[in-house]
Amino acid sequence: MKAMLQTALAGSARQAMETTETGTPVDDLTAGLPEGEAERKLLLAAGAARVYLQAGKLAQSGGVRPDRAAEERLPVCSRQSAQLIETFLCGRHGYLLPEALERLARSGYRLPHTLLPRALSVVRPDVRSAIVAVLGERGRWLSQFNPQWHWVQGALMETADASLEDAERLWQDGTPGERRAAIRRVRMAQPDMARAWIAAVWRQEKADFRVELLNVFEHGLSHEDEPFLEATLDDRSANVRERAADLLAYLPDSALVVRMRARADLLLDYSPPPPQRLKNLMRSVFGGAEQSGTLTVQPPDQLDKAAQRDGIVPKPPEGLGERGWWLTQMLARVPPAHWERRFAAQPAQLVAAAARDEWGMAVIEGWSRAAALHRDGNWALALWERWSDIDKKTPHYHQVATSILGSLVALLPQTAAADIIRRPLSGGQDFQPHIWKLIFMSIARPWSADLAQAYIEKLKDQIRKDRSGVHQASIYWWCVPDVVACVLPPQYLREVQGLWTEEELRTRDWLHHFVETLHAREQIWKEIPL
Amino acid sequence: MELTTEQVLALAPDAASASAGKKLANPRSWKSLGQSTEAVWGECQGSALYQVRVDVRDMTTRCSCPSRKFPCKHSIGLLLLATGTSEGLPQGAPPDWVEEWLGKRAVTAAKREERGTSRTKPTEADPVAQAKRADKRLSLVKAGLDTLDLWMNDLIRSGLASVETQSATFWEREAARMVDAQAPGIAARLRLIAGIPNATPDWPERLLAELGRLALLTHAFRRLDALDPAMQEDVRQLIGWSLKEDEVVARGEAVRAEWVVLGQWVEGEERLRTQRTWLISADGVRTALVLQFSAVGAPLPQMIVPGTCQQAELVYWPGAYPQRALLKERTGNPAPLAARLPGRVALDDALTGVAQALGRQPWLDRFPFVLADVIPVPHEGQWQIEDQTGARLPLTRGDHWRLLALSGGAPVDLAGEWNGTDLLPLGVVVDNAYHPLGDTYT
């Protein structure tokens, strides 16, 4: 056979034909061929040998097989919900996946096996964490075979059934994502052990990853962690130092908080409003402002090494003076409740007093960041007003307002959040669309009937303006419905849809999108009942 | 409508249509919707109002949209809606535009039936002229194959290594010559052979083998009279005497049975596509291949849904090992297969079947495999399946994640197409449920 192939390759004109034997029983057949051209004989022998070998093809023998997947413990979801989820997985309304998957998980079902490859291929982090709960045994088993699906191992770490042995294995030789998940798992169960593991590898890790490791301390933060975090304030990376300082600031009465409080106490002083009988007189002279008392602000002149070690960044962002910037950072690491005690005053009074000082915005930003860090809802309410009429402020504060309004709303229970946005919603102060979007995203879900109703009223108002040409509502609101459609209770669908004419629904893409989203959510609620 | 979502999606001509169909699978896109025992229908609001209807007895779809894809996204959307929502579509009497279409279809079917019976003998005007034409073609083919043989001998003389640097026209010229010689089957084989050089490391071996098989074919043709009649049919078809459908019906073997659709896939480039559908009789004894051709934009003549079974009459092209068949008549509605695959065997038995088939018809290229209890084994670059005896065969290049997901490392029944080298998975049965493994999913 080999000799034949060599002849055929080189050409029988160059290399004399030695044999047309193939070493198979086919040779008996070719032997019977009439004498003729050698080339023809070679071709026929090759053709017959090929059929012979094709017919004689044998299976290979086995090697290692994968272990079997465990039996499923959850029932498979209905065909209808599977089809709905498949649609979302294919890109249509992908942002509805978290809600749909969460409902599926809460009602105790899993995805059908046939959807698993597609489900495992999602990339959005919020979808991934929702998918883990509905993968079932099969999905977890399947994820081991494709490196792109290994994120599941990490995500599984965060569920209660992950064992500490698995976590240790991943911590030793997993990808950065898996290691992060593993150490988080350990931290939940045994905070001290997690700290010891982190401390053991601390020096070898890159700065970015050290920041991520510090984030792990958020869970179960305690005074046991203080010595490690305090030492971390000497880290070579500024980002690491800053994160460590945030964590220490969160620990009541940590050495850092004590130091920072001492610094801050030198910066602020407050005198309460005069007693009632003087008020009327003063009001006639100065106007109504003095009711909240007076805050005296003395921003730092210098920044010493010790303050920098505590995470104060010397260089201000563009458009901001050094002193105000240092002031903000120092206040940001002091629990806001401290000022209530020290000055025996309500947050609203202090904030109002601060607003009148020339350093007022620096103080208010510091307090706002402190309120967010300490999740202080009382302060959030007081601070909200100051940020909500931010339009006249400098570009820096305008930018800060955008993120701070969202984070303040997130501190509030929904009823309180609904209360404070009602005024701007009902036509008083108004925000730019991107701020609305952030606010809507930050409010706790699902929306109450009250809030939904307030939103719909606002929408009606906008539509009226839009139709009378007063206001470019279609542009103004374009990004908001997209977010709202994901949080509005589905029973409001009909009402919202009825606000527009057929023509409007058909000709505006964003509107179409909005209504489609509501419909998709209505389907989710119908097909995946809780 | 008893189809599964997967089965409906497998009907889509490509992934884009499947996903466009999914978008339309919500009641909002539809003005009216309904179903009866014979049909489902709906009016879809697109740039215009499109009327979509499906005859559920053979899954033939018809839409008034101008789409060049078939079935169009509206039809896919309607079928998804009919199968995917918990309550299904509202039952009712078909509206006029559906009734009319169903009526027309019935009339056409009746006409075809009538033509089939009345034209058992083709009404050829002049049998003498016909014989003369046949003689002329025969001598044309003979002369053509003579030059082909000389050309192949020359190739061996100058060495196969020399074709490494030849451009595509080298093969195309010879193929065109075979078309002129009225041997289109040979021309098609030459075009396939043109793809072998440099394609794989072992191309010289494969090239020699395929040229050898071509030589066997011309050899067989010279001895045509000495072959038995069935083999004569094969050789003539392989060279290019194609049979018209009524000739197949008149001369081929008809088998009326409950047929299970094992799976299908579409091969071919942009312009002309060939849909290959493998079927097996419910008793597991006979397998058949139904080929359907479509130019882009033209509908396939028939919808055949993988994973369904239906009472039907198939007629095989005559030959020593009949494989290709046409679907002459279907009775009853297609029902989803709710059992294990009939005729399933172990790997060794499937390969023995190949040997027996080649023993009867050595030019067969591809074979349907229905395998019992195989386990897919993922392996970098080359997946495999392993049966209960530990025997393994390679799967087609690429990944087979859905197959793996469905098996979970446990044995499953698998239907696929074997090309002598690797197996293309077409459908899998797990817990008595069929799942297509077609193109739409890879």
ipTM: 0.84
Question: With an 8 Å Cβ cutoff, are B354 and A57 in contact?
Answer: yes
| DSSP 8-class letter at A219 | T
Q: Which residues of B touch A55 (CB under 8 A)?
A: 354-355, 358-359
Residue A417 has pLDDT above 70, yes or no: yes
How far, CA to CA in Å, does A277 sit from each of A273, A288, A320? 11, 14, 41
Of A9, A50, A141, the CB nearest to B408: A141
Question: With an 8 Å Cβ cutoff, are A48 and B28 in contact?
Answer: no
**What are the pLDDT digits (tens) for A232-246?**
999 988 889 989 999
Residue of A nearest to B159 (CA): A11
Residue with tokens 């017919």: A55
Question: With an 8 Å Cβ cutoff, are A114 and B406 in contact?
Answer: yes
Question: With an 8 Å Cβ cutoff, are A82 and B216 in contact?
Answer: no
B1 touches chain A (CB under 8 A): no
Query: Cβ atoms within 10 A of the Cβ of B408, count?
Result: 24
Give the Cα-Cα-Cα angle B210, B214, B216 (nearest 5 degrees): 115
Question: With an 8 Å Cβ cutoff, are A61 and B420 in contact?
Answer: no
CA contacts within 13 A on the Cβ side of B369? 33
Q: Average pLDDT, stretch A22-33?
A: 85
Q: Average pLDDT, stretch A365-387?
A: 88
Question: With an 8 Å Cβ cutoff, are B401 and A117 in contact?
Answer: yes
Residue A230, token pair as written in the block = 């305090």
Residue of B nearest to A79 (CA): B84
Q: Report phi then psi at A224, rounded to 5.
A: -60, -30
How close does chain A come to B24, measured CA to CA in Å?
Answer: 10
Query: Cβ atoms within 10 A of the Cβ of B295, count?
Result: 10
Question: With an 8 Å Cβ cutoff, are B6 and A114 in contact?
Answer: yes
Residue of B nearest to A66 (CA): B409
Lowest mean pLDDT among A41-55, A71-85, A253-267, B286-300: B286-300
Give the Cα-Cα-Cα angle A350, A351, A354 (nearest 5 degrees): 85
B211 touches chain A (CB under 8 A): yes
How close does chain A come to B148, measured CA to CA in Å?
Answer: 11
Peptide bond between residue A413 and the one before it cis (omega within 30 degrees of 0): no
**What are the pLDDT digits (tens) for A44-69?**
999 999 999 999 999 988 788 889 99
pLDDT at B218: 96
CA contacts within 13 A on the Cβ side of A419? 10
- Given a contact cutoff of 8 angstroms between Cβ atoms, the answer to whether A4 and A20 are in contact is yes
Query: Cβ atoms within 10 A of the Cβ of B256, count?
Result: 14
Residue A403, token pair as written in the block = 């993120």
pLDDT at A79: 87
Residue of A nearest to B352 (CA): A55
| DSSP 8-class letter at B379 | -
pLDDT at B427: 95
B360 touches chain A (CB under 8 A): no
Q: Average pLDDT, stretch A387-415?
A: 77
Q: Report phi then psi at B390, rounded to 5.
A: 90, 0
Residue with tokens 């006979």: B286
Residue of A nearest to B87 (CA): A80
Q: Which residues of B touch A144 (CB under 8 A)?
A: none
pLDDT at B442: 35
Q: Which residues of B touch A54 (CB under 8 A)?
A: 354, 358, 420
- Given a contact cutoff of 8 angstroms between Cβ atoms, the answer to whether B141 and B239 are in contact is yes
Residue of B nearest to A44 (CA): B212
Residue of B nearest to A37 (CA): B153
How close does chain A come to B340, measured CA to CA in Å?
Answer: 18
pLDDT at B118: 56
| DSSP 8-class letter at B46 | S
Q: Which residues of A touch B393 (CB under 8 A)?
A: 59-60
Question: Sorting pLDDT into bands at 50, 70 and 90, what band is A160?
Answer: low
Of B157, B219, B408, the CB nearest to A44: B219
Residue A418, token pair as written in the block = 């609904």
Q: What does A471-492 look like in DSSP terms, one character per residue?
A: S-HHHHTTTHHHHHTTTS-GGG
Q: Which residues of B touch A13 (CB under 8 A)?
A: 157-159
Question: Sorting pLDDT into bands at 50, 70 and 90, what band is A263?
Answer: very high
How far, CA to CA in Å, does A343 sit from each of A295, A367, A410, B244? 10, 15, 27, 101
Of B209, B351, B410, the CB nearest to A57: B351
Regions of chain B short of the pLDDT cut 70 = 1, 85-87, 115-125, 269-270, 296-297, 438-442
Question: With an 8 Å Cβ cutoff, are A62 and B420 in contact?
Answer: no
Q: What does A231-296 look like in DSSP terms, one character per residue?
A: HHTT-S-HHHHHHHHHHHHHSTT-HHHHHHHHHHHTTEEEEPPPPHHHHHHHHHHH-SGGGG-EEE
- Given a contact cutoff of 8 angstroms between Cβ atoms, the answer to whether B141 and B181 are in contact is yes
Question: Sorting pLDDT into bands at 50, 70 and 90, what band is A430?
Answer: low
Question: With an 8 Å Cβ cutoff, are A43 and B159 in contact?
Answer: no
Question: With an 8 Å Cβ cutoff, are A9 and B362 in contact?
Answer: no
**What are the pLDDT digits (tens) for A162-221?**
778 888 888 988 888 888 888 988 898 889 999 999 999 999 999 999 999 999 998 889
| DSSP 8-class letter at B427 | E
CA distance A394 to A149: 47
B393 touches chain A (CB under 8 A): yes
State which of A380-394, A466-480, B39-53, B357-371 shows the largest mean pLDDT: B357-371
Q: Average pLDDT, stretch A429-437?
A: 71
**What are the pLDDT digits (tens) for B293-344?**
887 667 777 889 999 999 999 999 999 999 999 999 888 888 899 899 999 9
Query: Which B-chain residues 25-64 have CB contacts (< 8 A) with chain A?
Result: 25-26, 28
What proportion of chain A, given as a percentage, has pLDDT over 70? 92
CA distance B70 to B86: 27
Q: Which residues of A touch B86 (CB under 8 A)?
A: 78, 80, 527
How close does chain B come to A454, measured CA to CA in Å?
Answer: 27
Residue of A nearest to B149 (CA): A40
- Given a contact cutoff of 8 angstroms between Cβ atoms, the answer to whether A42 and A8 are in contact is yes
pLDDT at B440: 44
State which of A4-18, A332-346, A375-389 shows the largest mean pLDDT: A332-346
pLDDT at A475: 46
Handedness of CA B347, B353, B358, B363 (dihedral sign): negative
Query: Cβ atoms within 10 A of the Cβ of B350, count?
Result: 23
Higher per-residue confidence, A14 vs A471: A14
Q: Is A448 exposed, middle or buried (0-12, 13-18, 19+ CB in 10 A)?
A: middle
Q: Which residues of A touch B204 (CB under 8 A)?
A: 5, 8-9
Peptide bond between residue B71 and the one before it cis (omega within 30 degrees of 0): yes
Q: Which spans in B268-425 are helix H? A: 347-360, 401-407
Question: Sorting pLDDT into bands at 50, 70 and 90, what band is A283?
Answer: low
**What are the pLDDT digits (tens) for B31-54?**
889 998 888 999 998 778 899 999
B157 touches chain A (CB under 8 A): yes
Best of B49, B404, B422 to substitute, by most chain A Cβ atoms within 10 angstroms, is B404
Question: With an 8 Å Cβ cutoff, are A43 and B378 in contact?
Answer: no
Of B6, B378, B402, the CB nearest to A145: B378
State which of A2-16, A424-438, A472-486 shows the largest mean pLDDT: A2-16
CA distance A368 to A401: 10
How close does chain A come to B293, measured CA to CA in Å?
Answer: 28
Question: Sorting pLDDT into bands at 50, 70 and 90, what band is A161?
Answer: low
Q: What is the mean pLDDT of chain A?
A: 85
- Given a contact cutoff of 8 angstroms between Cβ atoms, the answer to whether A70 and A141 are in contact is yes
Question: Sorting pLDDT into bands at 50, 70 and 90, what band is A404?
Answer: confident
Of B84, B354, B405, the CB nearest to A79: B84
pLDDT at B270: 65
Question: Sorting pLDDT into bands at 50, 70 and 90, what band is A518?
Answer: confident
Q: Which residues of A touch B219 (CB under 8 A)?
A: 44
Question: With an 8 Å Cβ cutoff, are B408 and A90 in contact?
Answer: no
- Given a contact cutoff of 8 angstroms between Cβ atoms, the answer to whether A20 and A38 are in contact is yes
Residue A284 has pLDDT above 70, yes or no: no
Question: With an 8 Å Cβ cutoff, are B214 and A47 in contact?
Answer: yes
Residue A353 has pLDDT above 50, yes or no: yes
B156 touches chain A (CB under 8 A): yes
CA contacts within 13 A on the Cβ side of B400? 33
Question: With an 8 Å Cβ cutoff, are A66 and B26 in contact?
Answer: no
